[in-house]
Structure 1
Amino acid sequence: MAEIRIRNTEERIKGEENVRAFLEGQEVLYEHWDPSKLSEELQNKFVLSDEEKAEILKTYEDDINDLAARRGYKTWDIISLSDATPNLDELLKKFENVHTHTEDEVRAITAGRGIFIIKGTDDVGYFDVELEAGDVISVPEHKAHFFTLMENRQIVAVRLFIETEGWIAHPFADATFSK
C-alpha cells in the first residue's frame, strides 16, 4: 500500500483512504488494483519476456481499460527495471531530474517498489509517494515530479499514455528542491 512522506515535516501518511485523500488534494490520482491477480511467478520477476509482459497486460486488461476509458489514455506498455537492466544507473539519472510533461504520467505497479517525488501545493512542498504492487498513480500534466526506484531497485509497472508516442520530459528548474 502506498505511503507518503512530506519532505518539509517528515510527516508520514499511511492507509489507503488517507493516501487517496491527501493525493486528491494535490490533484494526483491514486487507485489500488488487486496485486494477487498476477501469477506468483510474475509477482517476483523483474526480467520479462515479451510473452510475460503480454500476460501482465492481459491480467490487468479490465483495470487498464476502465482507467483508460475514464481518463482518455490510448496506449499502454510495461516497463521493467532491475539491476539486470542494461545501463540502469544512466537510465535512473535521466529519470531523477525534476520535470513536467504535457500529459499525465501514469504508473500501475505490478511488482517491486518505486517512488514518485512530487511538488505539492505551496503549504506542502515536495512529497514522496512510496509505491508497491497494486498501487496506481497518475501525476497530472505540468505538475513537477520525478520517479525513481527504492532501495530494492526492482519494479514492473504498466505505463499508460494519451499520446501514442509516449510522453516527453520537460526539465523543471526549482531552487526549492533538494534530494
Structure 2
Amino acid sequence: MAQIRIRNTNERITGEEEVRSFLDQQGVLYEHWDASKLPEELREKFVLSDEEKATILSTYDAEIRDLAARRGYRTWDIVALSEATPNLEELLKKFEQVHTHTEDEVRAITAGEGIFIIKGTDDVGYFDVELQAGDVISVPENKPHFFTLMDSKKIVAVRLFIETEGWIAHPYEDPTFQKA
C-alpha cells in the first residue's frame, strides 16, 4: 500500500483513503488494483519474457482499459527493472532528475516497489510517494516530479500513454528541490 512522506516536515501519510485524499488535493490520481490477481510465479519475477509481459497485461486488461477510457490513454506497455537490467545505474541517473511531461506519467505497479518524488502545492513542497504492488498513480502533465527505485531495486509496472510514442521528459530546474 502506498505511503507518502512530505519532505519539508518528514510527516508520513498512510492508509489507502488518507493517501488518496492527500494525492487528490495535489492533483495526482491514485488507485489500488488487486495485486493478488497476478499469477504467483510473476509476483517476484523482475526479468520477464514477452510472453510473461503479455500475461501481466492480460491479467489487468479490464483495469487498464477502464483507466484508459476514463483518462484518454491510448497505448500501454510493461517496464521491468532490477539489478539484472543492463546499465541500471545509468538509467536511474536519467530518471532521477526533476522534469515534466506534456502528458500524464502513469504507473500501475504489479511487482516490487518504486518511488515518485513530486512537487506539491507551495504549502506542501516536495513529497515522496512510495509505491508497492497494486498501487496505481498518474502524475499530471506539467507537474514537476521524478521516479526512481527503492532500496530493493526491483519493479514491474504497467505504463500508460496518450501519445503512441510515449512521453518525453522536459528538465525542470528548481533551486528549492533537495535530494533527501
Coarse TM-score class (shorter-chain normalised): over 0.9
**Deviation of 1:101 (Å):** 0.0
> Partner of 1:20 in structure 2?
20
The letter for the 2-side match of 1:31 is: E
> Partner of 1:74 in structure 2?
74
Q: Percent identity?
A: 80
Describe the SS at the equivalent of 1:148: strand
Distance 2:19 2:40 in 1: 26
**CA RMSD, 1 decimal:** 0.2
> Partner of 2:84 in structure 1?
84
Structure 1, gaps ≥5 residues long = none
The yes-or-no answer on 1:55 pairing with 2:23 is no
Distance 1:2 1:173 in 2: 27
The alignment's TM-score, normalised by the length of structure 2, stands at 0.99
How many residues align structurally? 179
> Partner of 2:30 in structure 1?
30
Distance 1:128 1:44 in 2: 24
> Partner of 2:65 in structure 1?
65
**Deviation of 1:170 (Å):** 0.0
Describe the SS at the equivalent of 2:23: helix
Distance 2:69 2:126 in 1: 30
The alignment's TM-score, normalised by the length of structure 1, stands at 1.00
Distance 2:12 2:41 in 1: 32
The letter for the 2-side match of 1:51 is: E
> Partner of 1:151 in structure 2?
151
Distance 1:38 1:21 in 2: 27
> Partner of 2:141 in structure 1?
141
Where do 4+ consecutive residues of structure 1 move more than 4 Å?
Answer: none
**Deviation of 1:15 (Å):** 0.2
**Deviation of 1:68 (Å):** 0.1
The yes-or-no answer on 1:93 pairing with 2:93 is yes
The yes-or-no answer on 1:109 pairing with 2:109 is yes
Describe the SS at the equivalent of 1:128: strand
Distance 2:92 2:21 in 1: 29
